[in-house]
Structures are given as C-alpha cells and as structure tokens.
C-alpha cells in the first residue's frame, strides 16, 4: 500500500494558501489606516501653527540678512529635517511612515509673486498640479495661510510677513494606500512569505494537537468495536461538531449490542423451532410407532409373532437412536471444517448405512451463506431418509452448483418414483425448508425412472462459511 500524505502537511499547505492572501489584505488595510491617519495630521491646526511660526522666522531672517541665498536654503533644509524627525511634535510617529513611502516626501520652497521658485530645499521643482494652483494664487493680497489637497498631494502657501513678494510653500507628497502596499510587497515579500509559512505551520500543529488527537481517539474506539469490545467509548467532552459526532458514535455500540442480543434471541427461537420440527418429523413419529408395536407385543400371545414384533421394535429403537444422533450432530459446532466437507461426510456416512451408491458434486457449497446451511442440512437429511424408506433406489446423484446469482441443490435417485409435491409430511417438510431460503422454492419430478428434487434460491450477499 503506498504511503499516504499525512494530515499535517495537508493542513500546512491549506493554511499557507489561506494565510498569504490574508496577510496581503492585512497589509493593505494597514497601509490604508496609516494613510488616513497621516492625512488627518496634515489637515490639523498643529501643522498650520508650525507653518506660521516658520514663515515668521523666515521673514525675520530675510529682513536681517537682506538677501536670499545659501543661508536661506539651509534654513529650509533644517526645517524639513526637523519635520521628518520622529521626535518632532507635529508628525511624530507618522514621520517614519512618510520616510518609508518616498525618498523626498517633504519639500519647502520660497516663491515669488509669479509662482517661480526662489529657494528650494531639494532640487526637482514643483509638482505640476501644485504649480498650477500656486499660479492661481499669485495675488498676495491675502496674508493668511492657504492650503490645498490634490489626491495624495498636500500644498501649503503662506506669504512672508513684511516681504510682499515672497511666500513660503510646504509640500507633502504621500503614497496612496495601493502604491504603499505595492512598494512594501516588492521589498518585503520574503518576510511575508515566511510569516505565512510560520502561521501555516503553527495553525497546522495546533489543529493536529486539537483535531487529529480527537480523531485518533475515534479511530481507536472503532478498532475496539471491530474486535468485539463494545464497552469502549470515545467520551469527547467538547461540544463542537467533532464532539457531537463522537457522541452519536458512542451510541452505535449500545445499539449494536442490543441488536446482537435481539438477533441471538431470534436465532435461539428459530433454532428451538427447528429442533422441535426435527424431533416431531423423526423421533416423535418413530416413538409413536414404537409405542404401537409394544402395545401389539403385550396383546399377542403367539411367541413367534411377538418375536417378530420385538425385532421391529428394535429396528425402531435403532432408527430413533440414529435420528437423535443426527439431530445432536447438527447442533454441534464444527469449527474450521468447510461446509462442503461436512456435507460430503454426511452423504458418505448415509451411503454406508443405507448401502446406496452416491455421486457427489458440491462445487457451489462455498457460496452457501452461513444462515442457510442449517436449512440445507435438514433438506438433505429429509430427502435421503425418503430415498432410503420409499424409493428402493440403487444410486443417488447429489449436486450443489452455483448459477450466477442463484444456487441449485438437486437430489436425483433411480428408484420407483411416485413422489408428489403435495403428498406426505416429508415432502411438506422439504417445501417449508425451501421457503425459508431467500426466494427459495422446491420442485419435485417423479416417474417410473426415479425422483428428482430441485431446490433453488437466491445467493445472499454474505457467502462466507466458517
């Protein structure tokens, strides 16, 4: 038998297939949550106050320096670096999220009234959408902070106090949740695969300890029931689906034990009925004849006649003894002897007692079900007894053959004939026995050439013999 794949690797593979999409979905949800939290921070009043403070400091420095140059660029770079630090009170932990998303997520500019960059914290210029907005906001009559969100792009514009032709611009370019998810997946897929594998193995081991152990108890109980130990129970205390199935299975040996007891009682009743019928058909009739012969002996004064009557009485006693021996032999268990061998031994023993030759073909005996063997033994005993008593035959052919899904048991003698299917208690006994077989029937043909008895019945599913 090929070695089968155990349940543990199957469960691990199943949970791996389940865990990878789940981990990807969780990562996308995390990216969405981070994006929403970051946008709320960028829309907060705290960031607006930070921009206002920075523009005031920048205006003061420009006024003191009276020029825009290298020092202003460094001021913008330092401000961007402060904003990108986790310790800064505005972004806090969101600074790490920004750093993971893009190389330059934060940029600061000084622009003139025409929206042209005068000083830039990083080279690269404006985002086009932000530049178009800045051009539309070119009039600087409003000294307050203005900002605009365009998808994942946040742009803040604040004119410098006291410097009418300069404005401070702060720009945040975020990654959308989908972009952030794809970027992480490209970088972190080995980690995600390892996480999925570890989760799958952990889930598989957990289920193996929790589920497979319970299934093993069910299997062990089933093996005990198979060996006849019907007192074994699974006794699963859990109330889940497996526990409910175990509870139903625990009822099986109880029902099976009750069924076996009922079947044994029924078999005992059938066996008692068969024994009573056999005693009635053989011993009782011969005992009644013996009583009649003894009564005749008592009332007959002629010694010669009494001697003949006593001889007949001894013959009847011998028949009664032989009938009792046959009935007792039928009741004895014959362990390990095939049914065909038992039939052949009985037929040969009858042939030796009667002096009648027999031809035997029992090729279909192995197909006779165990429950049908007693009936077949009784049919054979009754038929051979009739041959011995009435036929004066010199040969009997006995065959038991299988024809597809049917069995045929035939007893053919070369005697005087004259038997009829409706005549005598012995013929009725054959008919009743044949009727107890599945779809069984008996046919009797008798003429001057002899008598033929055919018993046909349907093959049972269970055909094994002890």
Check residue 48 and give its pLDDT: 86
pLDDT at 135 over 50: yes
Q: What is the pLDDT of residue 285?
A: 66
Least confident span in 62-71, 364-373, 397-406, 430-439: 62-71
Q: Give pLDDT, residue 420.
A: 66
pLDDT at 334: 54
3-state secondary structure the chain: CCCCCCHHHHHHHHHHHHHHHHHHHHHHHHHHHHHHHHHHHHCCHHHHHHHHHHHHHHHHHHHHHCCCCHHHHHHHHHHHHHHCCCCCCCCCCHHHHHHHHCCCCEEEEEECCCCCEEEECCCCCCCHHHHHHHHHCCCCCCCCCEEEEECCEEEEEEECCCCCCCEEEEEEECCCHHHHHHHHHHHHHHHHHHHHHHHHHHHHHHHHHHHHHHHHHHHHHHHHHHCCCCCCCCCCCCCCHHHHHHHHHHHHHHHHHHHHHHHHHHHHHHHHHHHHHHHHHHHHHHHHHHHHHHHHHHCCCCHHHHHHHHHHHHHHHHHHHHHHHHHHHHHCCCCCCCHHHHHHHHHHHHHHHHCCEEEEECCCHHHCCHHHHHHHHHHHHHHHHHHHHHHCCCEEEEEEEEECCEEEEEEEECCCCCCCCCCHHHHHHHHHHHHCCCCCEEEEEEECCEEEEEEEEECCCCCCCC
CATH number of 43-175: 3.30.450.20
Q: What is the mean pLDDT of the chain?
A: 77
pLDDT at 318 over 80: no
Residues 335-392: tens digit of each pLDDT: 567 888 888 888 888 888 788 999 999 998 888 888 888 888 888 888 888 888 888 8
Per-residue pLDDT at 140: 55
Average pLDDT value for residue range 451-466? 75
Q: Where are the domains of the chain?
A: 43-175, 262-332, 333-466
pLDDT of residue 68: 55
For range 29-36, the mean pLDDT: 83
CATH of domain 333-466: 3.30.565.10
pLDDT at 466: 42
Q: Is it the case that residue 397 has pLDDT exceeding 80?
A: yes
Confidence of residue 3 (pLDDT cuts 50, 70, 90): very low
Q: What is the pLDDT of residues 104-118, one digit of tens each?
A: 788 888 887 777 777
Q: Is the pLDDT of residue 18 over 70?
A: no
When pLDDT is cut at 50, 70 and 90, the band that residue 54 belongs to is confident
Mean pLDDT of 257-276: 73
pLDDT tens digit string along 180-230? 777 766 766 677 667 767 776 677 667 666 677 778 888 888 888 888 788
Give percent of the chain above pLDDT 70: 75
pLDDT reported for residue 67 = 57
Percent of the chain with pLDDT over 90: 8
pLDDT at 400: 94
- pLDDT score of 132 more than 50: yes
């Amino acid at each position: 038998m090929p070695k089968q794949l155990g349940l543990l690797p199957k469960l691990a593979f199943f949970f791996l297939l389940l865990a990878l999409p789940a981990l990807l979905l969780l990562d996308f949800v995390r990216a969405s949550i981070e994006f929403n939290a970051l946008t709320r921070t960028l829309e907060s009043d705290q960031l607006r106050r930070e921009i206002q403070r920075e523009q005031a400091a920048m205006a003061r420095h420009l006024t003191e320096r009276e020029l825009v140059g290298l020092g202003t660029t460094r001021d913008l770079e330092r401000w961007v670096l402060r904003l990108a630090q986790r310790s800064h009170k505005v972004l806090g932990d969101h600074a790490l999220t920004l750093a993971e998303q893009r190389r330059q997520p934060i940029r600061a500019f000084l622009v003139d009234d025409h929206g042209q960059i005068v000083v830039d914290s990083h080279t690269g210029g404006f985002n086009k959408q932000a530049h178009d907005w800045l051009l539309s906001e070119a009039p600087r009559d409003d000294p307050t902070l203005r900002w605009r969100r365009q998808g994942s792009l946040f742009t803040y514009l604040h004119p410098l106090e006291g410097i009418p032709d300069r404005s401070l611009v702060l720009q945040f370019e975020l990654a959308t949740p989908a972009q952030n998810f794809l970027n992480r997946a490209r970088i972190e897929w080995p980690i995600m695969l390892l996480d999925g594998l570890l989760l799958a193995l952990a889930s598989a081991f957990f289920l193996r300890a929790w589920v497979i152990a319970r299934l093993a108890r069910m299997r062990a109980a089933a093996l005990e029931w198979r060996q006849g130990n019907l007192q074994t129970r699974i006794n699963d205390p859990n109330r889940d689906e497996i526990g409910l199935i175990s509870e139903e299975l625990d009822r099986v040996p109880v029902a099976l034990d009750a069924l076996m007891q009922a079947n044994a009682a029924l078999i005992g009743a059938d066996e008692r009925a068969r024994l009573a019928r056999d005693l009635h058909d053989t011993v009782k009739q011969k005992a009644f004849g013996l009583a009649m012969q003894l009564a005749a002996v008592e009332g007959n004064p002629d010694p010669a006649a009494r001697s003949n009557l006593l001889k007949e009485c001894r013959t009847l006693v011998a028949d009664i003894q032989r009938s009792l021996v046959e009935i007792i032999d039928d009741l004895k268990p014959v362990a390990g002897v095939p049914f065909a061998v038992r039939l052949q031994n009985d037929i040969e023993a009858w042939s030796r007692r009667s002096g009648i030759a027999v031809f035997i073909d029992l090729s279909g005996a192995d197909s006779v079900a165990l429950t049908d063997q007693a009936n077949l033994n009784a049919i054979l005993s009754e038929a051979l007894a009739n041959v011995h008593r009435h036929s004066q035959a010199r040969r009997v052919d006995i065959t038991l053959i299988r024809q597809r899904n049917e069995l045929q048991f035939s007893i053919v003698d070369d005697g005087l004939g004259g038997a009829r299917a409706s005549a005598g208690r012995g013929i009725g006994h054959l008919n009743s026995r044949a009727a107890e077989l599945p779809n069984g029937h008996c046919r009797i043909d008798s003429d001057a050439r002899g008598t033929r008895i055919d018993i046909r019945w349907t093959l049972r599913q269970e055909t094994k013999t002890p």
